[in-house]
Every structure is written in structure tokens, then in C-alpha cells.
Amino acid sequence: MKRAVALIAVAIAVAIGATIVAGRDDPGSGTVADRARDIAAGLRCPVCLNLSVADSPSRLAGEMRAAIASRVRSGETDEEIRAYFVDRYGEWILLEPTRRGLNLLPWALPVVALVAGLAVWLALVRRRPPRDDMAVSQSERRRIEHELRGLEEST
């Protein structure tokens, strides 16, 4: 039981840690092409639904990729470039919502559900009455004593 609780606690810690690591801002290192591709991969193509600017074959997406590369070359940080596109298109343009306010729900809900599930499971386990199916009834006890006596007499 204690081992199971410890394992679940480790799983929660790993989940939280992974969320924090995944949420860290891109430091903005790498070549111009790498940075431009990373930024484009996080932006939704305005013309074709559910494709990133990096993956879209549309002309507007291609020109957005060129605009991103130009901004990278001019010295803007990754965050500044993303902020420019959000300013023009709204948060809609981001394939992954920013981690603040209600947007935190997709990250928080699994952890909350895990913790709540663990709490409910612990509460149910604690409330469960001790198992008494190992107890011996009076009639069984009498029968056992009777058989033991029979054994002793036969030897």
C-alpha cells in the first residue's frame, strides 16, 4: 500500500516536472533557419486549418515564413516575433495556447484529476472495514476441535 502511494507520488512529480520543462521559454538560440522554422511550427496557418505555418504549402504561409526569417535576422527575439503575430491575428494564431489564465486548464486538469483520483482512492481504502473472512465461526471451531480430538485418539 505504502509502496503504491509512493509510486503514484513519483508519477505525479514526474508529470509536474515534465510540464514545467515543456513550458520553459525557448532561449532563442540556433541558426536563423532553425529559429524561423521553430517559430513557424508554433503558428497556425491562416489559410489552411490545422496546419502550421511551417508545414503549410499555401503562398501566404510561405510569405509568413519569409517574414519570420527576416525578423529573426533583424535581431528580434523569438518571443517578440510570436508577439507580433499574436498582435495581428490574436491568440488564435498560436497552435499551443500561452500558459496563463484559463489556458492553463489543459496542463492543470490531468494533474488535478490524478491528485483527486488518488485522494478518492485513499479515502475509499481507509473507509473499507477490515476483512473478517479469515475469522473462524463457532461451529467451525467446534468441528475443528472435534476432528483434532479424533486425530489424537486415533494416534
Residue closer to another protein, measured from CB, 27 or 129: 129
What is the contact surface with another protein in residues (CB under 8 A)? 46-47, 49, 59-60, 63-64, 66-67, 85, 87-90, 92, 105, 109, 113, 116, 120, 124
Residue closer to another protein, measured from CB, 41 or 116: 116
Beta-carbon contacts of 80 under 8 Å, excluding residues fewer than 6 positions away, are 71
Residue closer to another protein, measured from CB, 9 or 70: 70
Rg (CA), the chain: 31
DSSP state of 101: G
Query: Measured from the CB of residue 13, what is the shortest distance to another protein in angstroms?
Result: 22
C-alpha span between 119 and 113 (Å, rounded): 10
Query: Measured from the CB of residue 66, what is the shortest distance to another protein in angstroms?
Result: 6
Q: C-alpha grid cell for residue 139?
A: 461451529
Query: Measured from the CB of residue 133, what is the shortest distance to another protein in angstroms?
Result: 21
Phi, psi of 138 (to 5 degrees): -60, -45
